[in-house]
Amino acid sequence: MKKIVSLLLFFVVTFGFKARADEGMWLLPLIEKLNIGTMTEMGLKLSAEDIYSINQASLKDAIAIFDGGCTAEIVSPEGLMLTNHHCGYDRIQEHSSLDHDYLKDGFWAMSRDEELPNPGLSVIFLVSIKDVTERMLANVDNTMGEEERYDILSAERSKILEEAMEGNGHMAEVESFYGGNYFYLLEYDVYNDVRLVGAPPSSIGKFGSDTDNWEWPRHTGDFSVFRVYMSPDGKPAEYSEDNVPLKSKYWLPVSIKELNQDDFAMILGYPGFTQRYYTSYEVDEIMKIVNPNRIKIRGIKQDVWMADMMADQKVNIQYAAKYSNSSNYWKNAIGQNEQLERLNVMEKKIAIEDQFRAWIREDPEREERYGEALDLIKNSIEARADYENSYQYLSECIGGCEIFSLQRYGRRYMNAIETDAVDMLEDIKATAVEAYKDYSPSTDRKSMKAMLKLYREDIDSRFWPDFYTEIVDKKFKGDIDRYVDYIFDKSVFSSEERALAFMAKPSAKILEKDPAYIFALSINNIAQEIYDELVTSDDDLARGQRLWIAALREMMPDKTQYPDANFTMRLSYGSIKEYDPKDAVTYKYYTTLQGVIDKYIPGDYEFDLPRRLIDLNNKREFGRYGSDKGYMPVNFLTINDITGGNSGSPILNGNGELIGLAFDGNWEAMSGDFMFEPDLQRTIAVDIRYVLWIMDIYSGAGHLVNEMTIVE
């Protein structure tokens, strides 16, 4: 099989492929062949080698995966790193307490000694990308079953990874692209000593909260600051007081020059997952099952949490990150369904499928290769509908009861004793203590009552865990509130004190009779049954998706041929641009500090503001960070193609200089993961000038700005 580059060039030359400047999340090794010409015409001053190189330092060496789900970038020669406030939110919350509420007040380390370690936090830098498609597919063909294909691919993947990681200390992954039609080997360096350097108060970093989330105009200072450390000999290392700041291979220069409409903008980052190749059947599942379930379940749970958070500052700190993580994609689901319907995405998908059916009828060979694709997808989706629905409810409703997770520490502790893994006992105990720090038993008790009632009301009895019939009905006459009270009153896992007392005198007999443990066993049993039924459709679905994507790429040569996002490094390019969301309305491409002040509502948890921010605006103390046009810029828009995982990604100008951090998409294009909307889709970014102004003028942490290479 030819290399992927050769195949893609074949599509370009033979079928007249035309890249859209504003659509696509592109693989870095291919930009020289596919994108660099268009990017240069739009304003890029760099070469492809400046962006991605394995022979010299390049832009990709400054970009990292942050904490397993976001993107971050290095901005100084000593490992200083920027990402979004919402990406660092969990870590800021972990360091917060009633005595030191960094969520409310912000945090700034005025010296290296004050930077705060974060156990479990890692950042991951890409070393290289290598096409291994030919090797991976050498021994498979479309005549074999999916299980046999999977086994062959898994064995070859293991060989490739073993060779790649031998003797170099790298982490490596072989990732699938285009539905399993192509494969790349990606090698990474992993750094596990990452320290919190600074964060604005949430009234700046999370300004607007749920109301403004996914919306424009936006006025959010969504950034936080970390530093990467390495061992004294220059290698990645676990946390140690002896570690030193990372000697960066490459760091991004930071531009505080004016931003204008149509300026070139480029984003490098780690977009999570898109489904641009989804069929109407898969979109229908999202619209009718996945999103409605998420909206309903999380909405009820969040109401319980918010009531307790507003009533008690300790609970507010404990549940701030949990609430934020839940509400982010709760609102995403609302907007996504709204836009999928408004923009007629289903009808557009069906039109493509009709075109496909006509296309394969024209050629018996096409019919032979691809004819089963849509039926495989359709039948798989329809067959799994009830199981998909119940499994999501089980995960979000019952699996989301926190005591279900907490009892696992007792099980792990007993298992370590029984297997003589005594060296693990203190680590398990320490992890449990950390979990209980952010746990309110009374809040979980209320939430659990609501969740167990909802599951029973909405899910068919054949998918009920047996605790409903064997315990709730028989022992508590169907009274779920009494059952939940019984669990919390009797379980050793309902408080930190009880859990630690159990670990001090562990007993298998106590564990096996614990009501939370029995509850968990019941959940696990039904979860396994549902999961086993779900996976029966996986093979046909995987085959159908692979054939479908291969067919589309052959049938539609004029359509952009980038692979769906899969949390590997991608590049997107476009420009700064306003948009028209509806008739007679135009949104400017930027917002200002005055717009922040205009939204100010004293005492409101979403729109309150620090007095100092208001005073500085009134005095117009913008320093060198204000716009030449007389305002303090806050956020701006580009037409770059991004998705979840791109949060924190650098937005770069044509010189490769940092001008902002991507942090959101816009409401009118929430369907963009399934179909790009060129007239509506926008990236929302925090202007780097606002970031630096908050650090320097507002917070007095100008020493951090002094580390950076500032371009004026």
Instruction: State the chain's maximal CA–CA distance in angstroms.
Output: 75
For 635, what's the count of Cα atoms within 13 Å in the CB-facing half-sphere? 33
Cβ-based neighbour number of residue 145 at 10 Å: 10
Whether omega before 506 lies within 30 degrees of 0, making that bond cis, reads: no
∠ at Cα 288 (285, 293), nearest 5°?
105
Amino acid at 674: F
* CA–CA dist 447, 298 (Å, integer): 11
Cβ-based neighbour number of residue 382 at 10 Å: 13
For the chain, how big is the Rg over CA atoms in Å?
A: 26
DSSP string, 236-297: -----TT-EE---S----EE-S---TT-EEEEEE---B--TT--HHHHHHIIIIIHHHHHHH
Say if CB 259 and CB 659 are below 8 A apart.
yes
Long-range contact list for 45-51, CB < 8 A, 24+ apart?
45/654, 45/655, 45/656, 46/654, 46/655, 46/656, 50/656, 51/268, 51/571, 51/656
Q: Give how far Cα 530 sits from Cα of 283, 305, 389, 541, Å.
A: 22, 29, 10, 17
Question: Residue 85 CA to chain centroid, in angstroms?
Answer: 13
Say if CB 68 and CB 118 are below 8 A apart.
no
The residue behind tokens 């052959």 is 554
∠ at Cα 616 (631, 623), nearest 5°?
60
Reported residue count of the chain is: 712
* CA–CA dist 633, 627 (Å, integer): 6
* Helical pair 538-555 and 146-165, crossing angle rounded to 10 deg: 80
Cβ-based neighbour number of residue 707 at 10 Å: 16
Q: Which residues are catalytic?
A: 86, 222, 647
For 619, what's the count of Cα atoms within 13 Å in the CB-facing half-sphere? 11
Helix, strand or coil for residue 196? strand
Q: In 366-452, where do the E strands start and end? A: none
Dihedral angle of Cα 54, 58, 62, 68, to the nearest 10 degrees: -40
